[in-house]
């Protein structure tokens, strides 16, 4: 029998998809679709994320997670549908949307011959920061991402973990309302992962976060809600607790939801 995404309660749907006026959606996807010829990388994905929610974006490799993030941030244009960041349409006013957004792509936007400090100065000026405000935000990013020991070294000489932290520093540099992060703990050692988890939880007190990951225990540790995509479709949107009580049950649910996406795709091709 086909494995279907679980039906959600009316209360859960209202909470996840239609935030109250006092807690308006900070990330909004409406029917996002991206095709390459006849291939659907993302198919009709819709969701809302309110302020203060930390949402994990799950799915197998090639499911459409990174493509969806690129559509949300304006890096890619959708074939159909729309995206908003803090109420601003990403396609019609990308600059205004970008001012409210911090984005960490899978491979961070780093110039390897520049030091972390010169990179942050460059990115800060590109975002309109200068003078005392720029200095204040650079020092905040350095301290928050623990870059003090390597701040004067060429980025190309840094370990993968430190490069990831430089990428995170540029994402939070301008104090955005929304953070979208693709695999933010990739390449980090266990101590660094724990620090990033603490940072994400702290940021989620005042900001809206969407992060992709393959690490199920990380989802359990930080996320309030899970979006699961398979074969470009959103097949699950619900509380983390609905995936299972432990890592084994979460893995089983992961496999079930992956199959659900494949079965939907097979039905589309019939």
* 48 pLDDT more than 90: yes
pLDDT for the residue 57: 96
pTM of the model: 0.87
β-strand pairing of 225-230 with 25-36: unpaired
- CA separation, residue 106 to residues 11, 77, 153, 167 (Å): 34, 18, 22, 10
What is the tens place of the pLDDT at every residue in 119-158? Answer: 999 999 999 999 999 999 999 999 999 999 999 999 999 9
Residue numbers of the domain that contains 21? 1-100+181-270
**Three-class SS state of 131:** helix
Q: For residue 192, what pLDDT is reported?
A: 84
pLDDT at 18: 52
pLDDT band at 23 (very low <50, low <70, confident <90, very high): low
Co-location of 120 and 71 in the same domain: no
Average pLDDT over residues 1-27: 50
pLDDT per residue over 83-103, tens digit each?
Answer: 999 999 999 999 999 999 999
SS3 259: helix
Weakest mean pLDDT among 53-57, 257-261, 263-267: 263-267
Beta-bridge mates of residue 49 = 27
pLDDT at 2 over 70: no
Buried residues in 161-172 as b, exposed as e (16+ CB within 10 A): ebbbbbbbbbbb
In this structure, of 98-102, 199-203, 232-236, the range with the lowest mean pLDDT score is: 199-203
Same domain flag for 199 and 166 = no
Residue 107 has pLDDT above 90, yes or no: no
At residue 192, φ and ψ (nearest 5 deg) are -70, -35
- Going by the DSSP 8-state scheme, the letter that residue 115 receives in this structure is -
Q: Are residues 94 and 209 in the same domain?
A: yes
> Does one domain contain both 195 and 82?
yes
Cβ contact 80:30 at 8 Å = no
pLDDT for the residue numbered 178: 97
Classify residue 126 as exposed, middle or buried by CB count within 10 Å of its CB (0-12, 13-18, 19+): exposed
211-244 burial, b at 16+ Cβ within 10 Å, e below that, comes to bbbeebebbbbbbebbbbbbbbbbbbbbebeebb
Do 116 and 63 share a structural domain?
Answer: no
Whether residue 15 is predicted with pLDDT greater than 50 in this model: the reply is no
Strands (E) located in the chain: 25-36, 39-50, 54-58, 80-85, 88-89, 101-104, 178-182, 208-212, 225-230, 233-239
At 3 the pLDDT is 33
Q: What DSSP state is assigned to residue 97?
A: H
- Same domain for 86 and 186? yes
Average pLDDT over residues 233-262: 89
- According to the model, what pLDDT value does residue 191 have? 87
Beta carbons of 69 and 56 less than 8 angstroms apart: no
Q: From CA 120, how far away is CA 138, in angstroms rounded?
A: 6
Single residue among 175, 208, 225 that ends a domain in this structure: 175
Least reliable range by pLDDT among 107-111, 197-201, 239-243, 244-248? 107-111
Question: Where a domain ends, among 160, 175, 190?
Answer: 175
Number of structural domains, the chain? 2
Decide which of 159, 175, 191 is a domain's last residue: 175
Whether 150 and 256 share a structural domain: no
What's the residue count for the chain?
270
From 24-28, 179-183, 242-246, the region with the lowest mean pLDDT: 242-246
Res 164 pLDDT > 60: yes
Phi, psi of 58, rounded to the nearest 5 degrees = -110, 160
């Amino acid at each position: 029998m086909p494995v279907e995404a679980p039906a959600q309660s009316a209360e859960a749907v209202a909470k996840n998809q239609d935030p109250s006026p006092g807690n308006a959606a900070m990330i909004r996807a409406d029917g996002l679709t991206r095709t390459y010829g006849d291939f659907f990388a993302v198919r009709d994905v819709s969701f809302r994320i309110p302020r203060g929610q930390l949402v994990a974006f799950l799915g197998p490799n090639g499911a459409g997670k990174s493509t969806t993030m690129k559509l949300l941030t304006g890096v890619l244009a959708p074939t159909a549908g729309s995206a908003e960041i803090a109420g601003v349409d990403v396609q019609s006013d990308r600059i205004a949307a970008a001012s409210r957004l911090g984005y960490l792509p899978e491979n961070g936007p780093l110039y390897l011959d520049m030091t972390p400090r010169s990179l942050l100065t460059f990115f800060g000026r590109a975002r309109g920061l200068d003078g005392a405000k720029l200095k204040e935000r650079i020092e905040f990013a350095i301290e928050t991402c623990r870059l003090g020991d390597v701040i004067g070294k060429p980025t190309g000489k840094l370990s993968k973990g430190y490069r990831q932290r430089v990428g995170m520093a540029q994402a939070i540099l301008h104090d955005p309302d929304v953070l979208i992060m693709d695999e933010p703990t990739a390449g980090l050692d266990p101590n660094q992962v724990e620090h990033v988890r603490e940072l994400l939880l702290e940021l989620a007190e005042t900001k809206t976060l969407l992060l992709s990951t393959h690490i199920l225990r990380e989802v359990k540790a930080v996320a309030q809600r899970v979006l699961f995509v398979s074969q470009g479709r959103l097949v699950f949107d619900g509380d983390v607790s609905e995936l299972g009580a432990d890592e084994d049950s979460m893995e089983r649910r992961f496999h079930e939801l992956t199959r659900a996406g494949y079965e939907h795709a097979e039905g589309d091709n019939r």
